[in-house]
Amino acid sequence: MSNGKLNPATTAILLIAHGSRRQEANDELVKLAELLREEGTYSKIEIAFLELADPNIPAGVEACVKSGVEEVRMLPFFLSPGRHVVEDLERFRQEFSVQYSDIHFTICPPLGLHPKIIEIILDRIVENCI
């Protein structure tokens, strides 16, 4: 269980995106997970989609749990704390906390207004736009 300190060796990261009928959109989450794995801080990184694509959130959590972690950080790859983050992910978090009572589940904030988002926006503005 989490004691307030994050232990990367016993923490799984579950990246969660909405999911799309366009495979190219879903592939971005796959690539993000690969990049985070290469970065090497966390020993277990999985992906999940809220809808329209697989793996779904319960399957992603199951993959995390099977790895023997003590904590699962659910990171929404969303820009704002809309209904999916505030309601849907919280409902999942509560269900998983009961189902896997020995594992601590938390929802990380969406990307939103993180201070570095300005840098990203400025980079996107100067890229080749359509």
Q: What gap in Å lies between CA 27 and CA 39, rounded to an integer? A: 18
Residue 84 is part of a domain; what is its CATH number? 3.40.50.1400
pLDDT for the residue 1: 44
Two tokens, residue 118: 């300005």
| pTM of the shown model | 0.90
- Residue 43: pLDDT above 90? no
Beta strands in the chain (DSSP E): 11-17, 44-49, 71-76, 104-107
Report if residue 68 sits inside a domain: yes
Report if residue 2 sits inside a domain: no
Q: Which domain holds residue 122?
A: 11-126
pLDDT in tens, 20-35: 999 999 999 999 999 9
Report if residue 1 sits inside a domain: no
pLDDT for the residue 82: 84
Task: Please give the tally of structural domains in the chain.
Answer: 1
Q: Which is more confidently placed, 28 or 83?
A: 28
Report if residue 86 sits inside a domain: yes
